[in-house]
Structure formats: structure tokens, C-alpha cells
Amino acid sequence: MIPDLSLPALRRAYADGVTTPAEVLADIGRRAETYADRNIWIHRLDAAELQPYLDRLGELDPASHPLWGIPFAIKDNIDLAGIPTTAACPAFSHTPERSATVVEKLLAAGAIPVGKTNLDQFATGLVGSRSPYGACANAFNPEYISGGSSAGSAVAVALGLASFSLGSDTAGSGRVPAGFNNLVGVKPSRGLLSARGMLPACQSLDCMSIFALNCDDAAELLALSEGEDVEDPYSRANPYRNNRRHYGRWQGELTIGAIAEEQLRFFGDEAYAQSYLETMEQLAQAGAEIVPIDYTPFDTAARLLYEGPWVAERYIAASPLIEQQPDALLPVTYGIIAPGREAPAIELFRAQYQLETLKRTVRETLARIDCLLTPTAGRLFTLAEIAEEPVRRNSELGYYTNYMNLLDLCSLAVPAGFTKAGLPFGITLVADTFDDRKLLSIANRLQALFGLPQGTTGLTYREPSYQPAGDKKQIPVVVCGAHMEGLPLNWQLTERGAKLLERTTTSPHYRLYALAGGPPLRPGLIRADHGAAIEVEIWSVPEQAFGSFVAGIPSPLGIGKLEMIDGRMESGFICEPWGVEGAEEITSLGGWRAFLARSA
């Protein structure tokens, strides 16, 4: 039986004395030999190479090192000190003295590297078969592709040869292999994980990716791996709304954008088409609102990646080798990268202008939904089918993935089910930049709904996070006076981009007063045992504008929690009790508009 190597399961096994890291690594080594035909590894650490990592565990406290003894795999375009990095090209092989920044973080947390995994050469492909080290076969059926380029990283986790793994993702390499091997695949916002020590495919677009068995593991690993890095020019600071505290189980309403039916593509895979329909029906029955969206701008952006000038970046990454030893590259890899040498600068600027227009359209679409949901891939090809038409079918695999980094979005591949033939089917959730925890929280809810096994283990994850989570980009604010729609201070909301959500009343426990001063006149709302329901409006204020809005509120007013007529508590205007001394009580009028009408 394939063991449960998820983070909580392995920690329990260590804490209970059921096994040790040395025994786990030895077992992985034995089982890895039985999967030799899958071509998972380019370099698996031998006993001598593993021993320093095992010895070091004796110096580390498991309580303060959250990955103590946890085995992980590293895509072989990411550096591990003292172990060759090949990018699946033997002529490119070199041995780095220092590990990549993210690898350093994981090692510092106590993780143990199992080895460097196979990939599509120079991370160019979505198939997992473009490697001189052999085609990496699917974890569930070796006649099928594993997906690439992070092929070995996904298959290693799915087969229980690592608890998690690192990949990279320029065009879908962290998602397609996850979808084909029943894993969670994190394609984070660009710059959230440092790319120092990772060989770039397209440096301005690349990001490192994470393969995990479930959402809780993925969320923890993202938190342990992220961080702004001054050594990476594309690294970015993570905003507060996206920090690790905001991961949990998505609560309340869920609005999912779905590609219009006529724009879906399954490339002849009826099993995948049926799995997608069943998934959407399951979500709808669970209460999700499904909203059709136009996929045209996403697809247009996707085409720019390989049909536009960004292929020049791939040429830059491989230029020393391709210019001096072109025969060292596989013909299919050379055929994709070599044209990048001819890309003129004028085409790059034209493409950038087009891309900015597409970004605006896409963000307007994403603002109306909690996330976009697509199939991770439209078809799971056999290795033989890919060999027949390697370029066209690779392109088809990128139909739902290639746009992501060009549009600066984040995404998450999530297992959604199995076909009748027992092959994994996965979906991908998509949202705006730095919505990573939002997507993980939504996926956490879906994971509980789908109830699928982890990888190929057959073991269902039973410890999902129940911490409530929701959208932190907008903050509901209750207003009861001059900030209401059409009144003198409403501009302080609208000019900050706030939107009216609803008109309602408080619970019947408030008293309303007309405060002295002005213009404009303002009310004061006080909580009281014997009061009335007061007319209010709830406005949605953008998170980044909330602070400046609150800073402008004059004493004796402030923001506190108000009880609505339906019992929920929302942030809104309250008044300090001393502020209503000598003020006219207008509770009986039921609201500020009624007071203004009376005073007119």
C-alpha cells in the first residue's frame, strides 16, 4: 500500500514512534526502484548524499521546524547545492554551490530532498515526454502522459515518493501535471515565491510552483516558501489580505465564473467533457452560482505566449547552449526556442500594448465573480498520441493555462474526480494577483465537497481546515446619515470606489440623534436596550481605501460593530455616548432621510 505522506499524517507517525525519517527515506528508495519505468528522477540522492540531512535532524526541534523529516522532490531546473542541475539537457549540467532561495527555506524548516525530477527540456512543454532521460509516465496509467514540464515532480508526489514537490510554471507546468495526477497544484502570484536559483524559461513571467496532496498542505507549504527576496528582481511583497492567516474554509455565497459552453474545448476527449459537466452540476447543487464568462480575452492573451515575442525570453535562457551546441537540444525543444532569436523589439511593444488592454478586460470580468473555474486541461493524451503530433497536442494542453502569467493572475489546480477509466480529472481556479489564499480557501471547500483520495494512495484527506475565510478585498461599511446615497458626504465613498450593497435596517436596539454642528448635519447612532430599527445602507469599500476613509471620520463618530435586522454584525458608524448630550433624539422617525424630510 502506498503510504500517507501528507504533512499531518507523517508528523503523527514520527511523534508516535511509528517510523523515523531514515526509515521513510529508505522505503521511498525501495519503492522508487519499482517505478523506474516512469522516468521520474534525473538524480535521486543516494544514501551518502542523504545522510547529512538525516544527521542534521538530531540538532533540530520538530516543534519549531514544521517540515522536520518531510521528504520533498525538486524539479531539475531548480538548484540544490552540491547536486547537478540539468534542465533535462546533459550538456547544460552544472553543480551549484548554493540552493535556490525557496529550497533554502524548506531545508531550514527541516525538509529532506529526495532528488531532482525529470522535466520537459528547459521547461518547454506541457507533456512530460520531451526529455533525454525518458518520457515521464502518468502515475495512474503509464500509457498516458504525466503532463509537463514539471512531470517528475507531480508523479513523485502522486506515487508517495515525496510529501510535496517544487516545480515551475510559465505556461501551465505547475497545473497540468497536477490535474493529470490527482494533486493540488499551486501557481502562485508571480513574485510571491523567489525565483533565485531557478533556471528561467521566461524570466519576466516565470514562477515556482508547489505540488501537494491536499489544500491544507499546499497552504502551509506556500507560507513556508514565500517571502520577498532582494536577490530576485521580480520578487514582490505580499499584501496583508493575502497572508497565511487568511486561509481557511470559504464561507457563504460562492460565485464561480465558467467559460461559455461554445468556448469549451475537450479535443475529442468525451470522458473529460463528461467529467467537467458532472463537476459543474455538483457545484451548482451545492449552492454555487455559476456565471458564464467570455473566454476570448483569456485565449487571446494565451496565444501571445508562443505566437508572440515572449519566445525570445526562452531563447535568452538557453542562448549559450543553443548558439554553441544546438545539437544538444532535442529537435522539438530547438524548434520552439530557436525562432526567439528573430523576435524584433517592435513586436514586443505591440504585444505589450495589446496585453494591457486584455488585462483591463479580464480584471473587469474577475471583479464580478469569486473565481473563474476551468478544466485544468481539455484532454489527457496517451504517450503515443503525443508522439504522433507533439507540437499541436502540446498546444492544445495549454488552452486553459497559457494566459495566466501574461495576465499576472494566480491559479490553483484542484482534483475534481475520475473518469470511468479511472483517470484523474482536475479543475483550475483563477483569480486576480495576490488572491492566492482566497483560491486556497475556495478549494478547501471544494475538496470537502468532492471527497477524493490523495494522489494514488486511495486515502481520503480527513483533516481539512475549518477556519472561516472570505473575500478580504472589499469591506462592508454601514452608514446611517450624510454618507448615504445622494447625501452630502456620499462622495467620500464613491470616489474611493465603494459600491452600494443593500438598504436595510439595524436590529431594534438603537437610538438615533441629530448631532449639533454642520454643515453637513450628521446623526449619532447609539446602542440601547430600548430602541428601534434604524434605516441604514451597507456599502462595499475597497480594502486599500478603508483606512483613509476611517481616518477622516470626526469625533464623536467612529467605526464599530452594528447588529443588522437579520442578526449579522457589520462594521459601521457609531457614536460615543457623550456626543449625544443635548442632541435631539430622532429615533421615532426611523432614519436620517425621514429627519431631513421633516426638516425641509
Q: Catalytic site residues?
A: 75, 149, 173
* Cβ–Cβ < 8 Å for 410, 189: yes
Give φ, ψ of 501 to 5 degrees. Answer: -90, -45
3-state secondary structure of 78: strand
| C-alpha dihedral, 290 to 178 to 305 to 223, nearest 10° | 90
Q: Is 443 exposed, middle or buried (0-12, 13-18, 19+ CB in 10 A)?
A: buried
Q: Which three cell numbers stand for residue 210?
A: 508547489
End-to-end CA distance of the chain: 80
- Which residue type, as a one-letter code, is found at position 156? A
DSSP secondary structure code for residue 460 in this structure: B
Q: Which three cell numbers stand for residue 426?
A: 482536475
- Which residue type, as a one-letter code, is found at position 497? G
d(CA 167, CA 154): 8
d(CA 474, CA 32): 48
d(CA 50, CA 69): 11
DSSP secondary structure code for residue 257 in this structure: E
CB under 8 Å to 384, separation ≥6 — which residues? Answer: 143
Which residue's entry shows cell 508517495?
160
CA distances from 535 to 109, 322, 571, 572 (A): 53, 71, 15, 13
d(CA 566, CA 507): 7
d(CA 397, CA 148): 10
Q: Which three cell numbers stand for residue 571?
A: 462594521
d(CA 463, CA 461): 6
Length of the chain: 600
CB under 8 Å to 12, separation ≥6 — which residues? Answer: 18
* Cβ–Cβ < 8 Å for 247, 468: no
**φ/ψ bin of 152: left (φ > 0), alpha (ψ from -120 to 50), beta (otherwise):** alpha
Strands 255-259 and 474-479: unpaired
CB under 8 Å to 435, separation ≥6 — which residues? Answer: 189, 242, 371, 410, 473
d(CA 539, CA 500): 4
E-strand spans in 181-271?
184-187, 207-212, 249-250, 255-259
Which residues, listed in sequence order, are joined to residue 425 by a DSSP beta bridge?
A: 417
d(CA 570, CA 567): 10
Radius of gyration of the chain (CA): 27
* Cβ–Cβ < 8 Å for 589, 481: no
